[in-house]
Chains A and B, each alone.
Chain A
Amino acid sequence: MNSLLQRSSRNFLWQHPWQLVLAILGIALGVAVVIAIDLALESSLNSFNQASKVYTGAATHRIIASDGGLNEKLYTQLRVKGVSHLSPLVTGYVKLAQADKDSFKVVGIDPFIEKSFQSGWQNGQKENVSPDLFTRLMTEPNTALLSEKTAQSLHIQLNGQLSLVTSRGQQSLTIIGFLPHTDAVSEQVLAKLIITDIATAQEVLDLFGKLSSIEIQLTNDAPKFEAAIRSMLPGNALLVSLDSQEHSLREMTKAFSINLKALGLLSLLVGMFLIYNTMTFLVMQRRHLIGSLRLLGVTRQQIFTLILSEAFLLALIGTLIGIVLGVLLGQGLLQLISGTINAIYFRIDTTALVITPFQLGKGMLLGMSVTFFAILLPAFEATRLSPVKVMARSQLESGSRRLIKVVGFSSGFLIIGGLAVAFFSGKSINLGLASIFLILFGFGLLTPMLTLCLMKLIECVFGRFLGVLGRLPVRMVSAEISRTGIAIAALMIAVSATIGMDLMIGSFRQTVAQWLHSSLPADLYVSLPGDKMGSDKFLFDQQLKDKIAQLEGVQMVSTALQTKLIAAGELTKTTVFELATKSKQSFIFKHSMDDSLWDRLENQPTLIVTEPYAYHHALQIGQKIDLKTNQGAQGFEVIGINADYSGDQGHLIMSRQIYQRYWPNLGYTGIGVYARAEADVQQLESRISQLLTTQQAVKSNQTIYKASMELFEQTFTITEALRWLSAAIAFVGVFSALMALQFERIRQLGILRSIGITSSQLSVLIISETGLMGLMAGLLAIPVGFIVAYVLIFVVYQRSFGWTMAFYFDAGTLFQGIVLAFIAALLAGVFPALKMAQTHPAEALRTE
């Protein structure tokens, strides 16, 4: 019996391959996006750890230093004091002499560090490499190891030469061996890595006498050793555990990750409508079959199980395909995501997509549960079908109308609840995003009811002009509201999310543009990279500044040094300014201030913090921040909070005069040049550029403005991409609903044809109906998009990044939203319309 039951339903499914494919596609796409984001994000974040396994292996702690680096003597001191299991590192980035190659990371190591570190590159060396490799690395100057693949792609043989560009010109390294990849360290991670001994790295990177970090392996007595080590560290050095370092990286990118994942969930939400639509279609189309089965004595329970097991199969197939698609998509997103992390958070050298069973399992669970949630209602509906009398579609519709009213009114609670969650959930980003989902879902549920109202309105207003035929599309939208409503809701959700994000990005863009304008007061900016640890850098920088200041046409100069200080046990970005009178106007304070602020900044241990920093650390004016100096901890009072959109972690701002009381002179990273009113800025620019070395550059404020805005746009590429994905899923949803719709009313269309409606009239009829649906979705999406934008700007982004921005209203965005919905619906309607127009009327009349 049971198997017969299943067969009868399966046969039916096979007769509707379209719906089947679309349902599976809906599940698959939703799952794919979620998995892709998860994989790409985790891989990007993990690559940071992965890479360090190559040269530090099992280290548990690390001594890091802010700019200025670690003196290599510290290493010997630690050893003398009995701290063992140490591994010194010198790291930095170089460019290859070959044109357009990315930078490579140079890692200088001690080849004879303890075996217990189990560093990746050592473990892999077995019989294929001669045992004296370490000795050669150590004793022969300018020798290095490179991954075999990279060597091949650069056409370097064993013992061949690798040419690098250093701050002192070109330098060659002899490749004496290849880095093997192991289970723990993938090929890609090694791709951009050059391993040398300490001395070679110091030479290549111009870091004589310095170390970048010291890796430590602490075992049993960790706390005791930690305290001992801490007591020996200079002011700019910090002992951190690798766990906590990883944790803080994750904290740093937390907001970014959550927002991305929310975008993935949006796709799944839209996909859910698709699944729901298909399952109701499959149930409704089989109401005769189910009715007959019930008559034969099949119980409700059995019908329910039947539908559920069908859904299980669909979900399983869809989810499996989704996982495969997700891995592929993840590969594509990887570059985008790691690129964004690179641009705004920290440097990711190389990334490879790492797939863990846990992540796949998570995606699987999500896909399956979302499907089950979506089919619960249609499954219950199926059990309700009366065995005696098969209900006509219109009867079912009147049933669903009641449902629509109930759902519509209760959706009000979802929306109000969502708004309440948005504004009364403290600092939680998750709850902020959850509120958006509640609001979107609430409006989605409200959509059918609003559609009914609007269709009534259209009829009242335009009915007279439309004629009977013209009224038909309007009627069809409301008559089959259980189908059309779903399609409109899915489209509305996708479009309002788009409008919301567009308004938010637009507002953000405006805010950033304004901020950039005011924060680039100088005419020209000289950037001075080159390693800040270089011992005599500050002398050259000082000379350069003086030369520039003396140039004709220069009114004044300001300087900036971007460095890191240890604030509250964390390396914290700090900008040290030597402000010209004009540069002071570039600050946009978040509070009222008077001119004494500048005086205090110059003469007392005080700080300005940026808005995000203040937000993340819950700081207020008057509070103190402890900074680590060579003379011990020193409290700095916060005297100002200023707007800054250059990073979401925020930073500290300090005057140079105060800085130099506590920390060594590291020169500058930038010089701002203010030209005299009558000076020719372009000429000045070329004159300055003659004073510069190849690694230094001078740029006009316009150029920097443009580059910054480009970076801004770049950080939203991924958002754009994901948004389009959810729009695509919504499109598939509308398409599937329309296909189902036409299929269900095929008899009715046959009657119309028999009355004398031509096939082209029929197409116009169907297209008008879908256009109307698109319009409805677009119209609804405007207020909803508006609310979404509002919550994004004032709740989610503020909590995520600590930024406040102004809401800029853009009518163009709203208009685009309507057009998008309209066109999407029209496009989705074209195929069903053509198919119906081509359906033979005699065939159409034979059904039902």
Chain B
Amino acid sequence: MDKPSAITIKQLHKSYQESAQQQVIFNGVEMQVSRGEFIVLLGRSGSGKSTFLNLISGIDPPDSGKIIINGIDISALSERDRTLFRRHHIGIVFQAYNLIPTLTVAENLLLPLELIKRLTRKDRDNVAELLDKLKLSGRLNSYPDRLSGGEQQRVAIARALIHDPDVILADEPTGNLDLDTAGQVLELLDILIKKAGKTMIMATHSQEVIGQADRVFSIRNQSLHLE
């Protein structure tokens, strides 16, 4: 590996307790992701894609194993510290309902920034600029429910990037969109993330994305397989 490692996963185990029964999702996963790499995750429904992303973002803690991001083992952190880590270093896009319905588009974008620093005039200008790029400049003060699904996803992507995180996690970001819209969204991801040299892991079924990926993994039999 010539590039420095952004994410290192060692001996990752995760299972869920479903009433009396234990359901093993991951059994000793190993993975290395370099800085700036674009990883695509495949897998049947219920295979554990979302779970995997949740583990990396620290939303869900592993049963055992290490998840090292930027040299910090987040699996050793407390819940609170994981949250603070996520706040600074990770941006997340879900399949749908990403935005806070009670905040305007601009406010949704400002929220992650506000969590890490004091807002300035410049931040507001940046937000306006970013929305311009997304072709949403007119929707600055609209509430999310006034936006179409594709527009909402574009805002969600912008929000995942606004605070300049190191890692972007996207869980089927185009899953709810038609082909055209999905294309636009992916294009956006490409422009914003690849160009900025961000590391990204995306769970998807979309064929086009697979083509753009640096590496493609699929989840089978409780572990990751390089395609």
Contacts and interface: CB of A to CB of B under 8 A. Distances in A.
Given A468-B110, A842-B59, A842-B60, A757 B115 contact: yes
A753 B115 contact: no
A394 B87 contact: no
A752 interface: yes
Contact of A747 (B59, B97, B103, B116): B97
Interface stretch (A96-104, A137-145, A196-204, A469-477): A469-477
Contacts of B119: 467-468
Interface stretch (B1-9, B76-84, B201-209, B217-225): B76-84
A598 B19 CA distance: 91
Contact of A751 (B79, B87, B98, B110): B98
A756 interface: yes
B100 A752 contact: yes
B59 A755 contact: no
Given A395-B145, A475-B102, A751 B111 contact: no
B114 interface: yes
Contacts of A840: 60
B59 A479 contact: no
Contacts of B107: 468, 471
Nearest to B86: A756
Contacts of A848: 97
Interface in A816-848: 840-842, 845, 848
Given A471-B107, A747-B97, A845-B59, A754 B86 contact: yes
B100 A756 contact: no
A758 interface: yes
A655 interface: no
A768 interface: no
Contact of A756 (B60, B84, B99, B143): B84
Interface residues of A, number: 29
A760 B79 CA distance: 11
Contacts of B100: 472, 748, 751-752
Contacts of A393: 101
Contacts of B143: 394
A758 B112 CA distance: 12
A468 B145 contact: no
B92 interface: yes
Nearest to B98: A751
Nearest to A480: B102
Nearest to B171: A845
B102 A756 contact: no
Contact of B54 (A475, A479, A760, A842): A842
A479 B101 contact: yes
Contact of B88 (A472, A754, A756): A756
B26 interface: no
Contacts of A757: 83, 87, 115
Interface residues of B, number: 33
A618 interface: no
Nearest to B16: A842
A471 to B, nearest CB: 7
A388 interface: no
B94 interface: yes
B57 interface: yes
A558 interface: no
B111 A469 contact: yes
Contacts of A395: 145
Contact of B114 (A392, A469, A479, A748): A469
B47 to A, nearest CB: 15
Contacts of B159: 755
Given A467-B119, A845-B94, A758 B103 contact: no
Contacts of B87: 755-757
B102 A479 contact: yes
A759 interface: yes
A476 B143 CA distance: 13
Contacts of B115: 469, 755-757
Interface string A718-756: 000000000000000000000000000001100111111
B146 to A, nearest CB: 10
Contacts of B54: 842, 845
A614 B87 CA distance: 76
A479 B97 CA distance: 16
Interface in A743-782: 747-748, 751-760
Contact of A755 (B101, B112, B145): B112
B145 A841 contact: no
A676 B89 CA distance: 90
B180 to A, nearest CB: 22
Contact of B57 (A748, A754, A759): A754
A738 B92 CA distance: 29
A549 to B, nearest CB: 81
Contacts of A760: 80
Given A394-B145, A757-B115, 20 more contacts: A393-B101, A394-B143, A467-B114, A468-B111, A468-B114, A479-B102, A748-B100, A748-B101, A751-B98, A754-B57, A754-B86, A755-B86, A755-B111, A755-B159, A756-B86, A756-B115, A756-B116, A757-B83, A759-B83, A848-B97
6 contacts: A394-B145, A751-B94, A751-B97, A754-B94, A758-B83, A845-B59
Interface of A: 392-395, 467-469, 471-472, 475-476, 479, 747-748, 751-760, 840-842, 845, 848
Q: Sort A-B residue pairs by CB-CB distance and give the 7 closest, nearest first.
A: A756-B87, A475-B102, A842-B60, A479-B102, A394-B145, A758-B83, A468-B111
